[in-house]
Amino acid sequence: MKKLAAVLCCLLALSISGMAAQEGDHQHDAPAASHEHLGHDMSAMAGAASGAPVKPRKSAEELAADKRFSEFNHRFAGIFVLLVGLLAVAEPKLAQRLAWMRYLWSALFFIPGVYLLIWSDPESWPVGNQTLRYVITSNMQVLQHKLFSLLLLALSAVEFVRIRKRLQSAWVSAIFPALAGAGALLLLYHDPNAHATLGPTAHADMEAVQHQHLGFAITGFGIALAKGIADVGKFQPRLMRNLFAILMVVLAGLLMTYTE
């Protein structure tokens, strides 16, 4: 059965997708404020040295707009993850009557992959003024989003070739779980400081983001494991396919209820 994993997505993801390990502690006393401004000045100097435009510190309105856009990206990815989970259940019967349904897997990875690559971060390459070199060397958050997009596009290509060529070898079956597992692992190295907000709830907000991304990662590992076992076909393959579909729906729910 031809399937996929997410995330994010975020996944979707996949976005969709970038997620949870380091945690910054926003203190509100004067010394901490001094360190914060010093760090911002150093970041600005680094940006100037790398050729990226130096932007002023974001206002509360700009941070709120970034928050809404990030939440939209997660929900956008969640829709495709949900469709994948539903297709995992319906595809065997539908493909018997509509052969083209087998290729829908690839499209459900390809569309969010292209979206994440181009529009996940409007300020960065290829549509923004941050160069690709700057993204790779100085903007880990955006780089992670680009890596997620490449994982989605790789999953799309693998599923397309696998279906087109009717490949059934063990190493081909292992590619999907390996890529899905890599995506889940990448979620553990997302910096919650990238979603920092202003005000007394900043620390609690970052903790909430961290916990949500940890949930994405755990679900993603489950998806990779269930897909790998299902493709081997030696241990309750139907049960594993159903588990794969259920975990995809769970991940979709987590993405579509994500908040910052």
Per DSSP, the residues of 88-138 read HHHHHHHHHH-GGGGGHHHHHHHHHHHHHHHHSSTTBTTTSSB-HHHHHHH
pLDDT tops 70 at residue 52: no
| pLDDT surpasses 90 at 254 | yes
The token pair at 260 is: 């910052």
Residue 13 has pLDDT above 60, yes or no: no
pLDDT at 17: 35
Burial zone of 169 (CB within 10 Å; 0-12 exposed, 13-18 middle, 19+ buried): exposed
Q: What is the pLDDT of residue 197?
A: 57
Inter-residue contact 11 to 70 (CB < 8 Å): no
Q: Assign 201 a pLDDT band (cuts: 50, 70, 90).
A: low
Q: What was the pLDDT predicted at 193?
A: 58
Q: Which two tokens stand for residue 79?
A: 């829709």
Looking at residue 16, its pLDDT comes to: 33
pLDDT value of position 137: 93
Q: Is residue 55 left, alpha or beta, with left meaning phi > 0 and alpha meaning psi from -120 to 50?
A: beta
On average, the pLDDT of the chain sits at 76
Mean pLDDT of 169-174: 75
Q: Is 45 exposed, middle or buried (0-12, 13-18, 19+ CB in 10 A)?
A: exposed
Assigned token pair, 259: 């908040």
Handedness of CA 10, 210, 245, 157 (dihedral sign): positive
φ, ψ for residue 11, nearest 5 deg: 20, -110
Percent of the chain with pLDDT over 70: 73
Predicted pLDDT of residue 221: 94
How far is residue 46's CA from residue 32's CA, in Å, rounded to a whole number? 21
Query: Which is more confidently placed, 231 or 23?
Result: 231
Least confident segment among 53-62, 116-125, 193-202, 209-218: 193-202
pLDDT at 223: 92
Residue, of 184 and 23, whose pLDDT is higher? 184
pLDDT at 180 over 70: yes
Residue 190 CA to residue 193 CA, distance in Å, equals 9
Using pLDDT thresholds of 50, 70 and 90, give the confidence band for residue 55: low
**What is the predicted pLDDT for the residue at 219?**
94
Query: pLDDT grade, residue 26 (50/70/90)?
Result: very low
Longest dimension (CA), the chain: 68
pLDDT higher than threshold 50 for residue 45: no
